[in-house]
Amino acid sequence: MKFSKIASAAAAIAAAGMMTVSASALWVPVKDKAEKLHTAVGSSWMVVPFFDGVAEADQGKPVGGIDGLDYSKISKISCTFSVAEEDRDFWDGAIGGAFVLSINGGDLGCDDHKSDKYDTYNWPAQEWWGVVDEDLDIVSAGDDKISAVKVGDYTYKVTSNAFENPLANGDANEIGLIQVAMADYAGTALCQCQVDKVELLDTSDNVLVTFDGKGNYTLGGGSSAPAATDNTPSTPATNVDTGVEGVATVVGVAALAAGAVVLSRKRK
């Protein structure tokens, strides 16, 4: 980030009396969220593509599935996000967190009846860190983590590596719950970002289903919601050195490190 931009941002903060800031870039809260979007506040954006309604620990999550979606093919997660317009003067690219594809229930067990495979598929996470935006002189990508690439002005896309899917590898023929989360826990001091869309991909990067930022979904690569949401349970198919030199440094906010946070959201 160019120094003139940093200085301007710092001046704006001082003028607004905002020298004490929270070192946390959070997802912009979602209003009027769709049924499948279970969590959309703070550091977590999470949809529930399938829930059979059995597990006591998960009551309150949306019950039902998505007609036409072959759950056994889910392998990767892709998230496109953008910086909130009012925060763009302060943007330094310092953001990170984790992809989560959590599958349990059914043959994997749940609650007090967990199988020996339960922990393998319940809440596995892949960390991601930083963005690359040459137009803004931002290269905050981490060498050992997945990073986001620019796809538009202040808009970035980050894609996970492949997750193990128990329906694909034979560890389960039936499951009870699928959760897909984008956790933001590294962040930057002043900027909020919003989830624009999340896509679930197969091993060949074909888009299986797309969720918009509110959790509306459509099969394939679209972004609009279907006319109605299926609420009927069904059995799924079997088939840093970050280079952070921006506003956080100017206002004296402590440096943030991706991966320093232990994921503790595993279902009990």
Band of the pLDDT at 145, cuts 50, 70, 90? confident
Q: Determine how many CB atoms are found less than 10 A away from the CB of residue 180.
A: 24
User: Regarding predicted confidence, which is higher, 268 or 233?
Assistant: 233
When pLDDT is averaged across residues 132-160 and rounded to a whole number, the result is 92
Q: What's the average model confidence in pLDDT over 211-228? A: 75
Q: What is the pLDDT of residue 88?
A: 94
Residue among 255, 254, 219, 262 at smallest CA distance from 49: 219
pLDDT band at 7 (very low <50, low <70, confident <90, very high): very low
Give the rounded percent of residues in the chain with a pLDDT score beyond 90: 60
Strand partners, 244: none
pLDDT at 177: 98
| pLDDT tens digits for range 45-54 | 999 999 999 9
For residue 80, the model assigns a pLDDT of: 97
Q: What is the dihedral angle through the alpha carbons of 214, 218, 219, 223, rounded to the nearest 10 degrees?
A: -70
| Cα–Cα distance, 242 to 225 (Å, whole number) | 37
Q: What is the pTM of this model?
A: 0.77
pLDDT tens across 102-122, in order?
A: 999 999 999 999 999 999 999
Supply 197's token pair. 């869309």
- Retrieve residue 61's tokens: 């999550």
As a whole number, mean pLDDT of residues 218-231 equals 57
